[in-house]
Structure 1
Amino acid sequence: MTADTLLLLLRSDTHRVTAWLRRGSVPAYVVPVGGWTAVVPAGAEARTSAPYDKSVPMLTNRPIPSGLRAALCFAVIDARAVLVVHPPGWRAVPRWLIWQTGQGPSGPTPFPAVRPADLVNVAGIVREDLPHVEGVLRDTALAPDELLHDLIDALGLPGAELLEPGAVRHASGAALVEPDERSVRRFEKVTREERDIAEELKSS
């Protein structure tokens, strides 16, 4: 089974992305790549307790402020490819695609579904490349990690090599960013209070 992995590409500078990561809970590497800033988890574990202790799902689901967009997230979670497109604009809504070998797009998503045109627009490539992107998404014989590599290539984006285990540690310009302890404590406090409220409602 393919291990969980993630590459997040943001149209912002490394300083702003670093500050954003410090306000989260996931240790991650920041790498400047071809006009984008790449984010790759530094390991499997976030700094928060279960069920929020897995770095890939935490980064995949983390909202991205408008100042860091456009952004594209390419992830493998539980042997499925997950794509999240964050268009530019203050009111822009993320779009999701969950993709499974042998099936293609599968299951409901928490937001509107990614369309091939969304990928082309956010990646900034020409519309003539749209059929190539559509062809990759139709190839249900691909493994999840193969789909991500082929899609990144079809979109003309950098950083596909950073999806390989351990590759980010040797990438040019890579810097490890640790989350701020105050941010982690604040997150734990909020989630603990939410669990307590849910338990109270359940028992009432």
Structure 2
Amino acid sequence: MAADTLLLLLRSDTHRVTAWLRRGSVPAYVVPVGGWTAVVPAGSDARSSAPYDKSVPMLVARPVSSGLRAALCFAAIDDRAVLVLHPPGWRAVPRWLIWQSGQGPSGPTPFPSVRPTDLVSVAGISREDLPRVESVLRDTDQTADDLLHDLIDALGLPGAELLEAGAARHASGAALVEPDERSVRRFEKVTREERDIAEELKSS
């Protein structure tokens, strides 16, 4: 099974993205790419304890504030492609798409679904490119990694090469950002309290 990978593209400057990462629990590289700021995990482990100790799922699930949007997250987890679109706007709700080789997009999720038109709009490309994006999503013969590369290319977005192992570390302008220890401790405290409450509810 291939290692999990992730590329997060945000329409914000590197200073804001760096500050956002420091408030989290995932060490990551920040790379300026073609008008976007890319985030790529620096290894597979987050600084938080299990079950929140894996970098890719933590970044996939992390909310993106309005000052950092629009944002597009492209990830491969357990041989599935996961797309999370964070539209611009104060009250915008993230949209998700989960895609698997041999099956294509999965059925409904608990979250609003990503539509090809959403991707075209946030990427800023012409509606004339919509059929190409739809064609990529319909191609179930490729792997999750291939799907991510083809989709990034179809959307005219930069950074696909950063999905390759070790590429972000050597990219032009890349900077490693470590999470702030106080932020990690706060996160651990909150999740520990949530687990304790859940256990109390089970036993009551």
Q: What TM-score does the superposition give when structure 2 sets the normalisation length?
A: 0.99
Q: Unaligned regions of 5+ residues in structure 1, if any? A: none
Partner of 2:183: 183
> What are the Cα deviations for residues 8-34 of structure 1, in whole angstroms up to 9, with x where unaligned?
000000000000000000000000000
Q: Distance in 2 between matches of 1:108 and 1:46?
A: 29
Partner of 1:56: 56
Partner of 1:203: 203
Tell me the number of residue pairs that the alignment of Structure 1 and Structure 2 aligns: 204
**Runs of 4+ off more than 3 Å:** none
Q: Distance in 2 between matches of 1:124 and 1:18?
A: 24
Q: Secondary structure at the match of 1:176?
A: strand
When the two chains are superposed, the root-mean-square deviation of aligned CA atoms in Å is 0.6
One-letter code aligned to 1:28:
A
Partner of 2:25: 25
Deviation at 1:109, TM superposition (A): 2.4
Deviation at 1:110, TM superposition (A): 3.3
Quick one: percent identity of the two aligned structures?
88
Deviation at 1:5, TM superposition (A): 0.3
Q: Secondary structure at the match of 1:7?
A: strand
Determine if the alignment matches structure 1 residue 149 to structure 2 residue 153. Answer: no
> What are the Cα deviations for residues 99-154 of structure 1, in whole angstroms up to 9, with x where unaligned?
00000011442310100000000000010000000000000001000000000000
Q: What TM-score does the superposition give when structure 1 sets the normalisation length?
A: 0.99
* Equivalent pair of 1:76/1:144 in contact (CA under 8 Å): yes
Partner of 2:41: 41
Partner of 1:94: 94
* Equivalent pair of 1:47/1:184 in contact (CA under 8 Å): yes
Deviation at 1:69, TM superposition (A): 0.1
Partner of 2:128: 128
